[in-house]
Structure 1
């Protein structure tokens, strides 16, 4: 059941999308009472209308939003279809109808309701609580004044009063919920016998006459779309690195010293100490007394360094380490004041130092363990340093190269050769690029198939294809400009040749058609044998049944190996007499399904609650759509003939 609901979320989204009011037309009720004159209307709504200019502005805003939200590249053909244009126009009509109704009925939102709505917006909350600071920051970041936003929000709340009562009061009947749950949980116990296309391939042959006949009947399906051959310059990390020279010895040595901590671990020592503390501003006599005490302790520790820990416990005035026998742990060379550090690292392991004055008093140190400096020497790290330094140099010059490349491409609009020669970039050629993607290498003449290029991913980027098929590139053969595909990848393009769409000659496709027809004929044999056995079993279900899989259970919430359409076929079988049989043809096999048992659906409180929670919004939105249609009639909505040209223009903008 849950899987079924998940699979059908698209239905809910489609219903909701019709009710979504595009943000780029939410400028408050008052903004819709004044319209520019002289612009051609495409829809009349009472005494007002929607003009070509308004529709065009909304469409461009929608495309810009889609482009901002397309990290993998923006393809205008995907986002500017007649269906999407129609949906946008419908949204604008519904929005205008709602505005008219809200205005006529004097719907409004109080200050209290406005505050509650803004406070409940997740974008303005921190830890679930409204944050005035975050509210101001978000609006400021979007370039919107608080007053403007609040006016728009108040208008939206007023518009919501038109349909929210319909959506919010929708209730699906318990009897309907029960029927839905029974349908979702109803199951069939089945067995399957598969007739696979692959098992019949050796039984089929294809004659030249069959190939010619198939070609004559279906050659339009083989049409190769319009394609271009493109010249391009690619500036990426590899190209930028190749453009820089090899660093000299001095540069390498300097880099090593600047980054030595990455290549070398400094020496370190595990030490203990005894501290005779000295307060700030101590007198000379106090200093002498402290020094004398420290000297006495040092003499004792040096005489019996094995007893250092006990001396630290009784004599050290460092409360933090005294209880640990003076243990300070490991210290790294370079992390201490020079006087203390030099004294400690000059001692051999196990030795006790003389009295050393430090910021907090007089110290006596004992070195418990030492580890020398370790890591890569300059010579050992030299190869790595050269690679890193070249990468760094390339990154620094990338922007400069990109600027020069852009200038040269625009200054020499008819050729990429000057830019290639000036920057030392190779001029690549790639063929077989279409509006929809890259042709297979077998469909491209020559050795420059884009699909076989090491840069095929870049060439298949929708932004690259869109640029190549722009009028300035396709018709005028001018440089397409410079595209920044990522922070470290820039490409300059030019159409070198255009090949119109064509149907390949029979000889060109004959070899590929052989396999295609063999598979078609093998599938036909599989289907024929499967259908023959289906008829035998339907005529007499007492016949021996062999080759079937073990019994399994399928339902509308668990399709098993079947598609949704296949499952619907299985569920539609008459189960009054069992077993019963049904055949299902797939792309490369025929399945003979034996239905053994009809398992009725069940009803549970949890299931009813789940379905009611999911279906009530769908019902509410459907009812809201019905209300919108009535409101459209009441408001006198009339879609004018000019709208057809905007939805499906004869020529693109």
Structure 2
């Protein structure tokens, strides 16, 4: 299951696109209109799904995807028969549920409705339902509580049709146990790989072969409609380039104001011994404490290396005594003035006289002394200038962005005025299609995909703008497109190249390489299959790699194809057993040396039962819907089939 999801990403993307917005609105409003004169796409008993309903649902779906992706969603992902079929199926399923709910008079109590609304995360603050948040969300969507609650009541009533099927689904224990055993079973395998590249040198491809392939693959070679674009990019680099020379005085002022970033102040790594002096102590007690501290200082100077041991014995600061009196690094401004002056007057290894502090007399020792260090203005000048220039560029960027918007609007048929005024360069790129950037082989040396701006030009919003009627047909500038907070682009179409099949000379090398790869792979497969057949008669480990233990949960880096081959080999007879699999550019023989059961209570399987119960529930739900389709006689009309295959424009 996990491998299926991992290796069918395009299919899973489509499924997610359809499932993520099942009701086509933020909170599931069910206000559909079912009476219309539009031609029916699907007939469902006495009801139907018409074109208006489909178009409305499609627009809402696209709007939600655009909002959730902040405009980066590519509408082309929904412009295909599979997506249209999936959306139509959703509308059919909904009509089926409405029919069942209506015929059976399903309803929802006020209490159930309140509990359902209170459980919505969108309406909660700190995990609790918030009336203020409730009204704020409804207001933002232009809804009244009455309309919203009526819609939710309908949604909950519909959920009674299939909800019990979903909620009561349970995976049979034998099935779950078998699945766990299959996922954790371990096999010790070896691989022998026959690479296509080893056969490439022996492959011969003639001009006749190339011509035949070219003639037989016209559809595969056909390039989509594409445009060559002129464009302006406003980014940090452009803003930096617009900053004029910075005066020396300004750089020096910036250095002084931010000196701490370039200069590390002096500091001392210090230890101390404290002789406490109680608050309000008499003069006699103070003299005694000072004498004791002086004696400690004398002893410390006599043997500086024993300062830590002396601190452990004599210091009355319990917090630092056990650490040998260590205070750590001290900078100016940390200690009272008298203590600071004493500490910073010490050289490394020196011991101070007793210094009176708020809590008694301190004897300090400088373990390490680090004088002020860093860069002078001259040494830091390059960094200072770069920082000042970037700050100025940030301000310039905002001004330039405003000007760019105005200049593009005021001069809709040319990028030159904006380029001249802002000091930007009009750049050019070829091979931009609606759904992708063509490769350099397809579009030539000026391909957008090969330029440094490929990420910008490949952005879905840029491609949408280039193929909008304003830009493509009317030959106008696009608006300013914000790719990121510090990158903006304006595009216009320079030239349009209709869909076509490239000339043979343009794709000849590509065809030669493809035929070479195909034939080399075929040779590798033939060699591998021949060796595999011989192993059945006389097993041998010659040419195989080191053994590795794998399971479906832990493939140890194996590709899905190889892993599937390893676990499809029958091991009920004597081992080793062998199997083979053709790969993209190779053929692999898998040798199974050992099979043993895994640990079915592994932590990775902890949630498997719940996951599979949800899958099981989804399957049962689909089975119920399929039965309802048969009972009500769901029929897709010619108009519906045409829409699925051609889209909305195909039926106009």
TM-score of the pair, normalised by structure 2: 0.75
User: In the alignment, is residue 515 of structure 1 matched against residue 516 of structure 2?
Assistant: no
Name which of structure 1's ranges 167-176 and 177-186 shifts more when overlaid on structure 2: 177-186
**Aligned residue in 2 for 1:282:** none
- Separation in 1 of the partners of 2:590 and 2:377? 73
Structure 1, 320-329 or 187-196: larger mean CA deviation: 320-329
Provide the residue aligned with 1:140 in structure 2: 136
Give how far 1:600 is off: 9.9
Given candidates 558, 568, 571, the residue that maps to 2:568 is: 571
Q: Give structure 2 stretches of 5+ with no counterpart.
A: 301-316
The gaps in structure 1 that reach 5 residues or longer are: 280-288, 310-317
Q: Is the 8 A contact 1:26 1:152 kept in 2?
A: no
Structure 1 residues 159, 467: closer, same or farther in 2, change over 3 A?
A: same
Shift of 1:630: 4.2
Matches within 5 A, 1:453-532: 453-532=451-530
Worse-matched range after superposition: 260-269 or 396-405:
260-269
Report the alpha carbon displacement of residue 413 of structure 1 after superposing the two structures with TM: 1.4
Deviation at 1:416, TM superposition (A): 0.7
Q: Does 1:24 align with 2:25?
A: yes
Number of aligned residue pairs:
624
Q: Tell me the distance in 2 between the aligned counterparts of 1:276 and 1:182.
A: 75
Q: For residue 87 of structure 2, what is the aligned residue in structure 1?
A: 88
Residue 557 (structure 1) shift: 6.2
| Matching residue of 2:314 | none
1:275-290 aligned within 5 A: none
Q: How does 1:185-204 map to 2 (within 5 A)?
A: 194-204=193-203
Q: Is 2:24–2:61's contact at 8 Å kept on the other side of the alignment?
A: no
Going from structure 1 to structure 2, the CA distance change for 1:15 and 1:164 (only over 3 Å counts) comes to farther
What is the rounded CA distance, in whole Å, between the counterparts of 2:243 and 2:96 in structure 1?
Answer: 63
How far residue 297 of structure 1 moved from its aligned partner, in angstroms, is 10
Match of 1:166 in 2: 165
Asked whether 1:98 is paired with 2:97, we answer yes
Aligned to 2:307: none
The alpha-carbon distance between structure 1 residues 223 and 15, as it changes in their structure 2 partners (threshold 3 A), is: closer
Spell out, residue by residue over 1:243-302, the C-alpha distance to the aligned partner (whole angstroms, 9 max, x if none).
1112212221222233222223345577999999999xxxxxxxxx99x99999999999
SS in 2 for 1:429: strand
Mapped to 2, the partners of 1:37 and 1:160 lie a distance apart of: 26
1:549 aligns with 2:549: no
For the Cα contact (< 8 Å) 1:211–1:514, is it kept in 2? Answer: yes
Match of 1:313 in 2: none
Task: Give the Cα separation in 2 of the matches to 1:615 and 1:64.
Answer: 32
CA distance in 1 between counterparts of 2:92 and 2:248 reads 72
* Deviation by residue 1:416-474 (Cα, 9 ceiling, x = unmatched): 111111111111111222334333334444x5332332222222222222222223322
Cα distance in 2 between the residues matched to 1:610 and 1:642: 45
Q: Determine the structure 2 residue equivalent to 1:440.
A: 439
Residue 63 of structure 1 corresponds to 62
SS in 2 for 1:400: helix
User: Mean Cα displacement is larger for which, 240-249 or 225-234?
Assistant: 225-234
- Aligned equivalents of 1:240 and 1:468: distance in 2? 25
Distance (whole Å) between structure 2 residues aligned to residue 364 and residue 527 of structure 1: 88
Q: Secondary structure at the match of 1:230?
A: strand
Q: Contact 1:298 / 1:353 at 8 angstroms: preserved in 2?
A: no
CA distance in 2, matches of 1:267, 1:532: 78
Distance 1:238 1:274, change over 3 A: farther
- CA distance in 2 between counterparts of 1:15 and 1:322 reads 64
**How many Å apart are 1:2 and its aligned residue?**
7.4
1:485-513 deviation digits (Å, cap 9, x = unpaired): 00001011111122223333333333444
Conserved 8 A contact 1:233-1:426? yes
Asked if residue 245 in structure 1 is aligned to residue 244 in structure 2, the reply is yes
